[in-house]
């Protein structure tokens, strides 16, 4: 893969992560409970971490990528999320977060497939694993706090 193609792909991923940061920041403005704001701030920081990783890759290239297996409870695949509006409940926040992480995982998985056999495949596979891990965190909270109470 040409260096400029690699750069364009990584810049695309950085932009997606910036959109995620902005999304979680906008949700924080709609929430009135401190605990919900803290959870959204944590999400924002996770996405900022991805920006840092991608920027490092852009500047220094791909170093050895360690892959890990991440459990997927697949709770989000059975839920429907609407565009967040007004006051959001804790359940709404968890659903929106799961759906966003699910979409990011799908995007990075597709990009990894598109660049199969290149160093870029490893980058996107690792990002897909990260998003799956984030989704898992929210699925566990949903299972523990929402499903177990119904």
Identify the CATH number of the domain in which residue 136 sits. Answer: 1.20.1260.10
Rounded Cα distance between 59 and 53, Å, is: 10
pLDDT of residue 94: 84
User: What's the pTM value of the predicted model, to 2 decimals?
Assistant: 0.75
pLDDT of residue 81: 66
Mean pLDDT, the chain, integer: 82
The tens digit of pLDDT for each residue in 63-110 reads 666 566 777 777 777 677 666 666 777 788 888 888 888 988 999 999
The residue segments making up the domain with residue 115 are: 3-149
Domains of the chain: total: 1
23-51 CB burial, b ≥16 within 10 A, e <16? bbeebbeebeeeebbebbeebbebbeebb
């Amino acid at each position: 893969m040409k260096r400029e193609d690699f750069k364009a792909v990584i810049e695309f991923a950085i932009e997606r992560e910036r959109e995620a940061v902005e999304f979680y920041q906008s949700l924080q403005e709609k929430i009135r409970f401190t605990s919900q704001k803290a959870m959204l701030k944590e999400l924002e920081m996770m996405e900022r971490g991805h920006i840092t990783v991608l920027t490092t890759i852009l500047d220094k290239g791909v170093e050895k990528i360690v892959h890990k297996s991440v459990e997927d409870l697949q709770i989000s695949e059975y839920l429907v999320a609407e565009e967040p509006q007004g006051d959001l409940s804790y359940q709404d926040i968890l659903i929106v977060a799961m759906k966003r992480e699910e979409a990011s995982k799908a995007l990075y998985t597709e990009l990894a497939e598109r660049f199969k056999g290149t160093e870029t495949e490893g980058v996107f596979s690792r990002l897909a694993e990260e998003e799956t891990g984030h989704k898992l965190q929210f699925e566990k909270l949903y299972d523990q706090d929402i499903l177990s109470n119904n």
